[in-house]
Structure 1
Amino acid sequence: MADLAAIAASLGEVLHRSGIPATPERQARFAASVVDIAPGTLDELYWIGRITLVSDREQIEIYDKVFNQVFRGIINFDEYLRKSQKPVSMNSKHADESQPAATGSGDRKEGDDSAGSSATPGELLDESEAGEDPSILAAVSEIELLRERSFAECSQDELNLIAALVAKLPLVPPRRASRRSARSNHGNELDMRTTLRKSRATGGDPILLEMKKPKLRPRRVVLIADVSGSMEPYARVYMHLMRGAVLALHAEAFVFATRLTRLTRFIGQGKPDQAYKKVAENTPDWSGGTRIGKALLAFVRDHGQRGVARGAVVVIVSDGWEIDDPLYIEQAMSRLSRLAHHIIWVNPRKASSNYEPLVRGMSAALPYVDTFVSGHSLRAIQEVLDAIHRATDSTSIHRHVA
C-alpha cells in the first residue's frame, strides 16, 4: 500500500478543495485509523476514510467520486479543479471524456456509469480491477519502495518526490495540561463549584459529584537540524518537514553546521521555493564542518531559560559527528534536558543493523535523550512524527535504544 501519511494528505487535500471540510485533525484521524486497522483491501480503506473524513450525508457522493479518482488516477485533480467551475460537480460522462478508460476495463462502454463513480463502495473498490490498472500500480509501487529507501541512496528525482510527500504529512502536536479545567465524566479531580451549585436542587446535599480534568493545549515543538556535509542528503528533506511544522504547529526551526541559525521567520513564509531560497541565503555554513556542541550551547544560551526551549519538545537531527571536544555537547545537552520537556534525537546512522553510538558526540548526547530514532527514510520520518505526538510524558531512553 502507498505511504499512509501521503494517502491521508492527498485525499484530504482534494476533499477539502472539493468542498468537504477535511481538516488537519480529520486527516490525522484518518492516518491513525489506517495505521491501527491496517486495511488489507481498498474496500476497507474506503470505509475508514468515509467514517473519519465525512461528516454529513450530503458529502458521501462527493467523497465517492474523489476517492475513486484519487486512487484510480482517472484525472489530474490540479488540472481539473482549475478548469471546473464547481470542483466536484462532475458526472461519469465528464470523467470518461477527460481521460481514456482505465486499462483492464475493456468491457466498459463509453457511457457506462461505472467508469466514473458508483453508489456502492464494492463497485468503486473492486480489487481485481484496481490490480489491473497499471497507473495506480506504478504509483503505489514507486511510493512503497521509496518508503524504505534511505535518503542517502535516492536520486535527485526520488528526493524531489519524497520532499513533496513529506510536505503533505499530517502533523499532530503533542499536548500539555493547561491551568484551566473542564467538566469531564472521566476526570480525576472534584469540581467543587459545579457540585455545590447542583446540590441546590437536592436541598443542599451533593448527591452527584461532578468531576473535572485539565484542558489540553498544544505543546511547543522545536526542530534543530544538522546541515553539515555528512548530513547533506537528509538535511534537504528535513527542510520540508520543518516548513510543515512551522506552518501547522507554529514550531521553531533552527539549523547548524559550524554555527546556529534560526530559520523560523524564513522557512514559513511565501511559497516553498522562495522559502528555501531564503534559507540558503541565510545559512552560509551549509555543508560545512560540524560544531554540534557550540551550536547547542548557543541555542540554550539564547533560547533557553525564558525562550522557546522551556517546556518544549526538542527534536535534534544529527549524526553526532563533532569536530570539537564532545564535552561541549555534554554541557549543552545537560542544560537542555533540564529546560525541555522531551528531547528526540534523530540520527540516520541508527538505521544500520550493527549501529552502536560510538561516535564521541553521539555517546556524549545520548544520556540526555528521551527518544532516539533514525529518521533515515520516508517510513522512518513517520516514526519521528509519532515520537513528537507521543511526547506527553517523559520516557526512558532504555525503551528506544536497542
Structure 2
Amino acid sequence: MSDLALVAARFAELLRADGLSVGADRAARFAQAITVLEPTRPEQLYWCALATLVSSPEQVSVLTRVFTVVFGETPQLAVAAAGAPKVAAGGPGAGTDPSGSSRQEVGELASVLERLASRDFADLEPDELSLLATLMRRFRLATPLRRSRRKRAAASGRRVDLRETLRRARRSGGEPAVLHRWTPREKPRKLVVLCDISGSMQPHARAMLQLLVCATGGARAEVFTFATRLTRLTRALATDPAAALRRAGEEAPDWSGGTRIGESLRGFIDDYGARGMARGAVVVIISDGWETGGAEELAAQLARLSRLAYRIVWVNPRTAKPGYRPLAGGMAAAWPYCDAVVSAHRLDALDEFLAALAG
C-alpha cells in the first residue's frame, strides 16, 4: 500500500507540473480506486485515473498525455472519455463483467468521495462522515521532532562515546584507534488534543475525533473532550471510528452541552498538563470559542498553557467564513496565545491543519 501511495503521489506531481490542478485528496482517491478495482490492464488503470483525477473534459488531454509518458501506453479510451460513446475498459473478461458494473461502482465511489471532501463537516450526515474514514487514513499527523535522552552512533557526532571507544580499544591492545561519537536521537513531540463537544461544535468534533482515529500518528495523541467538564478519551479512541465515537459519547456525558473552555483548560493543566503531559507538546484546541464563562479565565489559562506547550494550534471552523474577525468572546481572548488558527472545516481544508501541526 505504501508503494501504491508513492506511485499515486508521483503521478499527481507530474500532472501538476503539466498544468493540471491535482491535490493530495485526488491522489488519495486515485490510489483508493486502484485498490477497489485492482486493474490488470492499462485501460482499466486509465479509467481509475479518469474517474478520480480530472473534473472537466478539457483536462482529459493532459491526463492522457501524462499517462502515456508514465505508463508507456496511449489509452485507446481518450476519445470516449472526452465525450464520445464510452467503450468498456478491456472488454468482457478483462476484470469486469460486460455491463461494466465494477467500473461504474469505482466511478460512483470516487465521485461521491470527491463531493463529500468539499462539503463542510457540519453538513454531513453520520453515514457520509463514515465514508470519509477511508480518505482520512491517508493523512499523517506529524509533529516537530525534539531531542530525546537516547543516543545513536554518528561518525560526525559532536560528543565522544567514551564507553564504546574504550570497549573497541581492547581489540587494539588498549590503544583507542578510533574515537567513536554519538548524537542524540530525535522523536516526535507529544500531541495533545482538547476537543469542544458542545452543541455548536458537535458535527466538527465528530469529524476531528474520527480523523484522530484514522490518520497515521493520531493513535499516539492524548485526547480530551470538554463542554461543561473535562473527560479523557485517549483509551476510548484506540479502536475503529464508529465504535470510538460511540464510546466517546458514553464516556463524555456532557456531549452537546454548554461550553466552559477556561474552566476545562484549568482542569487539564492542573491535573495533567503541569505534571508533564503538556511540557514541550503540540496542543490542539478544537472549539468555536463560544465561552459561557469569563473570557478573563480563558486568557489566564491559555497564558499558563503557552508557557508549558511547544505550540498551540486552535481549530475553529468559523474562521472559514469570509470576513471573520475575533472581535469578542473566547476567541478574542485566545487569539494572542495561539501559534496558528485554522478552520479544518472540511476534508480538503485539512492540509492547513496538518501544516500547522508540523510547524
TM-score (normalised: structure 1): 0.62
- Distance between the aligned counterparts of 2:154 and 2:13, measured in 1? 26
1:104 to 74, 86, 103: 86
CA contact (8 A) 1:257 1:286 kept: yes
Report what 1:236 is aligned to.
206
- Distance between the aligned counterparts of 2:234 and 2:182, measured in 1? 37
1:150 to 114, 120, 126: 120
Structure 2 CA distance for partners of 1:379 and 1:66, relative to 1, 3 Å:
farther
Report what 1:293 is aligned to.
262
Please say if 1:224 is aligned against 2:194. yes
Report what 1:330 is aligned to.
299
CA contact (8 A) 1:333 1:365 kept: yes
1:334 Cα deviation after fit: 0.7
Amino acid corresponding to residue 278 of structure 2 in structure 1: A
1:285 Cα deviation after fit: 1.1
CA contact (8 A) 2:138 2:215 kept: no
Report what 2:233 is aligned to.
263
Amino acid corresponding to residue 314 of structure 1 in structure 2: V
Q: Give the CA RMSD over aligned residues.
A: 4.2
Structure 2 CA distance for partners of 1:265 and 1:363, relative to 1, 3 Å:
same
Report what 1:278 is aligned to.
247
- Distance between the aligned counterparts of 1:35 and 1:109, measured in 2? 27
1:278 Cα deviation after fit: 2.0
Amino acid corresponding to residue 295 of structure 2 in structure 1: P
Structure 2 CA distance for partners of 1:340 and 1:68, relative to 1, 3 Å:
farther
Taking the TM superposition and a 5 Å limit, the aligned residue runs for 1:349-388 are: 349-388=318-357
CA contact (8 A) 2:206 2:245 kept: no
Q: Which moved more, 1:148-157 or 1:361-370?
A: 148-157
Amino acid corresponding to residue 327 of structure 2 in structure 1: L
Amino acid corresponding to residue 145 of structure 1 in structure 2: R
CA contact (8 A) 2:213 2:219 kept: no
Amino acid corresponding to residue 322 of structure 1 in structure 2: E
CA contact (8 A) 1:162 1:237 kept: no
Q: Percent same amino acid at aligned positions?
A: 41
TM-score (normalised: structure 2): 0.68
- Distance between the aligned counterparts of 1:70 and 1:335, measured in 2? 54
CA contact (8 A) 2:197 2:225 kept: yes
2:317 to 348, 352, 356: 348
Report what 1:17 is aligned to.
none
Report what 1:181 is aligned to.
151
1:254 to 193, 213, 224: 224
Q: Which runs of 5+ in 2 are unaligned?
A: 32-37, 49-84, 97-102
Structure 2 CA distance for partners of 1:140 and 1:309, relative to 1, 3 Å:
same
CA contact (8 A) 2:137 2:216 kept: no
Please say if 1:316 is aligned against 2:298. no
Amino acid corresponding to residue 153 of structure 1 in structure 2: D
CA contact (8 A) 2:147 2:187 kept: yes
- Distance between the aligned counterparts of 1:69 and 1:30, measured in 2? 16
Structure 2 CA distance for partners of 1:278 and 1:108, relative to 1, 3 Å:
closer
Describe the SS at the equivalent of 1:330: helix
Amino acid corresponding to residue 311 of structure 1 in structure 2: G
1:221 Cα deviation after fit: 0.8
CA contact (8 A) 1:173 1:249 kept: no
Amino acid corresponding to residue 385 of structure 1 in structure 2: L
CA contact (8 A) 1:68 1:116 kept: no
CA contact (8 A) 2:261 2:298 kept: yes
CA contact (8 A) 1:330 1:365 kept: yes
| Residues 14-62 of structure 1: CA deviation (Å, up to 9, x unaligned) | xxxxxxxx4xxx78867876776665799x99xxx9xxx9xxxxxxxxx
- Distance between the aligned counterparts of 2:45 and 2:236, measured in 1? 33
Structure 2 CA distance for partners of 1:359 and 1:162, relative to 1, 3 Å:
farther
Structure 2 CA distance for partners of 1:108 and 1:304, relative to 1, 3 Å:
closer
- Distance between the aligned counterparts of 1:259 and 1:106, measured in 2? 58
CA contact (8 A) 1:315 1:345 kept: yes
Structure 2 CA distance for partners of 1:220 and 1:105, relative to 1, 3 Å:
same
Q: Which runs of 5+ in 1 are unaligned?
A: 1-11, 13-21, 54-62, 74-102, 118-132, 392-402
Query: When the two structures are aligned, how many residues end up with a matched partner?
Result: 302
1:274 Cα deviation after fit: 3.2
Report what 2:139 is aligned to.
169
| Residues 290-346 of structure 1: CA deviation (Å, up to 9, x unaligned) | 111111111111112223212211111111111111111111111111111111111
- Distance between the aligned counterparts of 1:280 and 1:347, measured in 2? 21
